[in-house]
Amino acid sequence: MKVLVTVKRVIDYNVKVRVKSDNSDVDLNNVKMAMNPFCEIAVEEAVRLKEAGVASEVVVVSLGPQAAQEQIRTALALGADRGMLIQSDEHLESLTVAKLLAKVVEEEQPGLVIMGKQAIDSDNNQTGQMLAALTKMPQGTFASEVKVDGDKVQVTREVDGGLQTVELAMPAIVTTDLRLNEPRYASLPNIMKAKRKPLDTKTPADLGVEVKAHTQLLKVAPPAARQAGIKVASVEELVDKLKNEAKVI
């Protein structure tokens, strides 16, 4: 079984995001970039399936600028077999990404597609669902456990009320939640081996997909600074402030 994994290049989660002085966008100059944390979990799960003998090949695909090859090479160092970059310097909306991935799925014919449930930059949590709709594949989102049994996959989902387990007929799409696994670190020998693994580059035009914007970014602003708290002398004073000043009770 072939497993297709998607990865996205985002600002490293340890970096404090800066906004451009004209509020037009996020400042990416001299900013450390990394693989989206949820995508790291997706790669780890695919590699574990391969190590267990369930998957025969792990293919990693990313969409974005040429620099996104760095994140693909990271995934290859973690154990993936082959990489693919859909190169575009334009802003790719979720629907466009889903359409491009649908073409990749059509070409690669994977038995399982594993994706991060969301990216930490846009936080949309919609590409996996859109891809499922376009490919008409069953989906198991917010996965905290994945078990493959023959041509079926059981996905334990984290929902508001607790856990829900669904059984999907493969090919299927799974999006990962935080508690699915703990991603490994790439060893130096594997990083060196990753440089020799195949990495193909295509464009949206090669896949017959037009990159078209449906939304317009108007303004980006940093969150408001938190105000200092105050100390109260008694429970009565606390209740009074919550009722008359904060107006939350």
- The DSSP line for 179-201 is GG--PPPPPHHHHHHHTTS-EEE
Please state, in angstroms and rounded to a whole number, the distance separating the CA atoms of residues 212 and 228: 44
Can you list the alpha helix ranges (DSSP code H) found in the chain?
Answer: 37-51, 69-77, 94-108, 127-135, 188-194, 235-244
Residue 59 lies in a domain: yes
The residue among 105, 57, 103, 73 whose CA lies nearest residue 9 is 73
Residue 183, pLDDT above cutoff 90: yes
Q: What is the pLDDT of residue 246?
A: 84
**10-45 pLDDT tens trace:** 999 999 999 999 999 999 999 999 999 999 999 999
Query: Is the predicted pLDDT of residue 247 greater than 90, yes or no?
Result: no
Place of tokens 């994977």: 110
- Chain segment 62-121, per-residue pLDDT in tens: 999 999 999 999 999 999 999 999 999 998 999 999 999 999 999 999 999 999 999 999
CB 131 within 8 A of CB 6: no
What is the rounded (10 degree) CA torsion for 135, 138, 142, 148? -120
**What are the beta bridge partners of residue 154?**
147, 167
Residue 130 is part of which domain span? 2-244
Question: How many domains would you assign to the chain?
Answer: 1
How high is the pLDDT of residue 236? 93
Q: Identify whether 146 is part of a domain.
A: yes
Token pair for 8: 């996205």
Q: Is residue 87 part of a domain?
A: yes
- 132 pLDDT band, cuts 50/70/90, is very high
Cis check for the bond before 37: say yes or no (omega within 30 of 0): no
pLDDT score recorded for residue 226? 84
The 3-class SS string of 48-93 reads HHHHCCCCCEEEEEEEECHHHHHHHHHHHHCCCCEEEEEECCCCCC
Residue 8 counted as domain residue: yes
Give a yes or no: residue 194 inside a domain. Answer: yes
Query: Residue 249's pLDDT band (boundaries 50, 70, 90)?
Result: confident
Burial 183-200 (b: 16+ CB within 10 A, else e): beebeeeeeeebeebebe
Model confidence at 229: pLDDT above 90:
no
Average pLDDT in the chain: 94
Inter-axis angle of helices 94-108 and 127-135, to 10 degrees?
Answer: 50
Is 110 a domain residue?
yes
* Assigned domain for 116 exists: yes
Q: Look at 12-26, 64-78, 158-172, 217-231 and tell me which has the smallest mean pLDDT.
A: 217-231
Is residue 249, in this structure, part of any structural domain at all? Answer: no
CATH at residue 115: 3.40.50.620
Inter-residue contact 3 to 111 (CB < 8 Å): yes
